[in-house]
Homo-oligomer: A and B are copies of this chain.
């Protein structure tokens, strides 16, 4: 069972948008036991789309194509697929009614061009779209359809060539994520389960570590996992600014026990370096730890400008442990809302350990929280000095036993600086909570 993902859209190749479908669809498919063998993005040109569809159907049993089902002139997938397979486009009255209703419900006039979204290649199944106008389409492609004329020795062209005499499925989904995602869950998942039920069990577990380089992680865990690798375990590493994900993967009947055994080995070696599992973000771990220990948190942010509060409040249930925070960008705000003293600002400057400490302690007192974080630094691109260059940051954590302040130098661009600093603050808080 071979799945290929085809993302259409000139905006992808022009770098105007990020292809979030790649991660979302690949992840969803992997969790269901189907691994995507290749992902391809092509521009909105007839030649590119048609040749990519043909090539994909040549490799894969299931091709999922995204985009190009909208109403505008660059939305050509519907037409091009119909043409490729010699099918006529037929007006689907139910789809047209649905589109009309959506516009009426919003009291918007319906543009004439929206009608093209009700055209369906003959024989295709319509996947209803409760969140937009464009329906998805699913087509069963018979062995004789859409074949590529093969070279005499096709093996030389690509390693993953499959026999072309198969029935394959081509599923077309609309580009907007809030339309694509529910449609995949409601229509594509049942289709997959029905048409390709034999997918082998596939177990994947990611252990997320912090504060240790990728190469050291491998040096520590590779030899102890060697036996399991021989039994079919696959290990992957992925490093991102101070974090390392270790991916443990196994297939087949013993997959679950193999991954479980590997996880136990890695946990024993890396210990508290592991902050979370799978998709778990550090803020979710911190909210979970605070909730479990019945502790509350307050924030006093200067240079991170709300990034940390935003992360914490992304976690459902954060309101149980998080009363709020002050984004104290100006010195006046630091004084007024956090009680930072004018003398401290004058003597040490706004970016100093002393101010970070007073910010954290002020937030802890004013919010009546168990813990508070205070952050002050220079996000850049300007504002650095010789002794405090751009990227300098002080992170204070105030709690019952007192306040600790750490100094870091996060020499990155402004947004990366904010992200990394917020994560360092979370890691400091996490380590404190783990030790509680």
Contact = CB atoms under 8 A, between A and B. Distances in A.
B299 A305 contact: no
Interface in A348-385: 366-368, 379-382
Contact of A42 (B38, B204, B307, B309): B38
Contact of A332 (B52, B307, B322, B323): B323
Interface in A388-419: 412, 414-416, 418
Contacts of A265: none
A313 B305 contact: yes
Contact of A48 (B160, B178, B234): B160
Interface stretch (A23-31, A165-173, A250-258): A23-31
Given A305-B312, A324-B329, A51 B160 contact: yes
A144 interface: no
A240 interface: yes
Interface string A70-97: 1111100000000000000000000000
A215 B313 contact: no
Contact of A316 (B158, B159, B308, B414): B414
Given A71-B214, A213-B108, A219-B113, A415 B314 contact: yes
A13 B60 CA distance: 14
Given A18-B20, A415-B314, A73 B218 contact: yes
A287 to B, nearest CB: 12
Interface residues of A, number: 123
A212 to B, nearest CB: 9
A72 B25 contact: no
A40 B71 CA distance: 27
Contact of A73 (B235, B245, B416): B235
Contacts of A159: 47-48, 50-51
B306 A238 contact: no
Contact of A17 (B36, B238, B310): B238
Contacts of A48: 37-38, 159-160
Closest 3 CB pairs of A and B: A305-B313, A15-B27, A306-B309
Contacts of A249: 14
Given A160-B47, A330-B319, A337 B324 contact: yes
A72 B15 contact: no
A51 B55 CA distance: 14
**Residue among A9, A159, A307, A324 facing the most chain B CB atoms (10 A cut-off):** A324
Given A14-B204, A15-B30, A236-B10, A149 B160 contact: no
B337 A313 contact: no
Contacts of A424: none
A314 B414 contact: yes
Nearest to A133: B215
A330 B313 CA distance: 12
A194 to B, nearest CB: 22
A111 B216 contact: yes
A158 B39 contact: no
Contacts of A157: 51, 55, 148-149, 151, 157
B329 A333 contact: no
A51 B158 contact: yes
B314 A305 contact: yes
Given A153-B149, A204-B14, A327 B309 contact: yes
A379 B73 CA distance: 36
A83 B59 CA distance: 24
B15 A29 contact: yes
A306 B313 contact: yes
29 contacts: A10-B234, A11-B238, A12-B26, A14-B27, A15-B28, A17-B23, A18-B18, A18-B22, A19-B19, A39-B41, A51-B157, A71-B214, A72-B215, A110-B215, A111-B215, A111-B216, A114-B215, A149-B151, A301-B306, A305-B318, A306-B309, A306-B313, A309-B309, A313-B329, A314-B414, A319-B330, A322-B329, A323-B333, A326-B327
